[in-house]
């Protein structure tokens, strides 16, 4: 599988212009996209500005809410610049109402012994116990069984047990685009077991199964989540791009 081409295709959908990232584009480009006028599946808010930044390109995708302001934004993006400079400009223009994420592309499966395995329907109660421990403030658990069964049936639920207790388990974030051929990896680990390599084990198993099912693994995390960034690299990902989103 060509992971880079598939990842480029996915984030081109986010930008709002099919395959722009597979067209060897370099430089700065502003794109109006109707994708900025809707809330993507699995997300809680509309992203009115989506900035995709790599070393050789900056693509700014905007929608209706920023049509009147976009010419002012363009004045600051006349040429390629480091991400630190992009962040300074966005903060100057929009204050603190932005998010900065790191996107990854899969490279290769690490060669290591794995102890994690797929969960089955009958292990729901163990999963529920794990979920409640990990989310003690969650008051409504009525939806969890359906979510768990869906993950199991789609071969996206992998976990690691210690003394018959589930201590680390994969998650399956909603994919707003290309659900049939890409899947982002999520992971949760009980606090007392963090730092022992369990999450790495589970995520590698999950990545292997995603590939086995002819999908491309994806990884995304916030720029301040250093632990998640290090985990991504241990699982076989390399940094792909910075993404800055603004909701006005």
Reported as a single tens digit per residue, the pLDDT across 43-52 is 989 999 999 9
Please tell me which residue, 100 or 140, carries the higher pLDDT value. Answer: 100
Task: Return the half-sphere exposure (C-beta side, CA atoms, 13 A cut-off) of residue 194.
Answer: 10
Reported as a single tens digit per residue, the pLDDT across 4-36 is 999 999 999 999 999 999 998 899 999 999 999
Residue 42: pLDDT above 90?
Answer: no
Q: Is residue 183 part of a domain?
A: yes
Note whether 42 and 87 are same-domain residues: yes
- Bridge-based pairing of strands 186-189 and 158-162 is unpaired
Residue 229: pLDDT above 90?
Answer: yes
Note whether 143 and 76 are same-domain residues: no
Note whether 87 and 122 are same-domain residues: no
Q: Into how many domains does the chain fold?
A: 2
What angle, rounded to 10 degrees, do the helices at 124-134 and 144-153 form?
A: 120
Reported as a single tens digit per residue, the pLDDT across 79-91 is 999 999 999 999 9
Q: Is residue 151 part of a domain?
A: yes
pLDDT more than 70, % of the chain: 100
**What range defines the domain where residue 151 resides?**
117-239
Domain endpoint, select from 63, 81, 104: 104
Reported as a single tens digit per residue, the pLDDT across 109-142 is 999 999 999 999 999 999 999 999 999 998 899 9
Q: Is residue 246 part of a domain?
A: no
Q: Taking the model in full, what pTM does it have?
A: 0.94
Q: Is residue 247 part of a domain?
A: no
Note whether 145 and 235 are same-domain residues: yes
Q: In what order do the strands lie in the sheet with 165-171?
A: 117-118, 158-162, 165-171, 186-189
């Amino acid at each position: 599988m060509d992971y880079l081409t598939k990842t480029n295709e996915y984030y081109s959908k986010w930008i709002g212009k099919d395959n722009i990232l597979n067209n060897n584009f370099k430089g700065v480009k502003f794109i109006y996209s109707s994708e900025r006028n809707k809330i993507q599946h699995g997300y809680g808010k509309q992203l009115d500005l989506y900035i995709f930044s790599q070393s050789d390109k900056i693509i700014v995708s905007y929608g209706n809410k920023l049509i009147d302001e976009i010419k002012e934004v363009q004045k600051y993006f006349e040429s390629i610049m480091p991400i630190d400079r992009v962040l300074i400009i966005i903060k100057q223009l929009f204050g603190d109402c932005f998010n900065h994420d790191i996107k990854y592309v899969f490279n290769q499966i690490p060669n290591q012994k794995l102890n994690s395995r797929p969960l089955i329907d009958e292990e729901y109660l163990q999963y529920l116990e794990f979920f409640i421990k990990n989310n003690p403030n969650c008051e409504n658990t009525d939806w969890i069984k359906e979510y768990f069964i869906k993950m199991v049936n789609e071969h996206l639920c992998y976990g690691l047990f210690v003394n018959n207790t589930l201590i680390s388990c994969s998650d399956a974030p909603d994919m707003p685009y290309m659900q049939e051929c890409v899947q982002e990896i999520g992971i949760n680990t009980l606090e007392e077991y963090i730092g022992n390599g369990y999450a790495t084990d589970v995520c590698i198993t999950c990545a292997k199964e995603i590939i086995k099912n002819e999908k491309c693994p994806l990884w995304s995390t916030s720029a301040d989540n250093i632990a998640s960034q290090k985990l991504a690299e241990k699982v076989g990902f390399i940094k792909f791009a910075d993404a800055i989103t603004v909701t006005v």
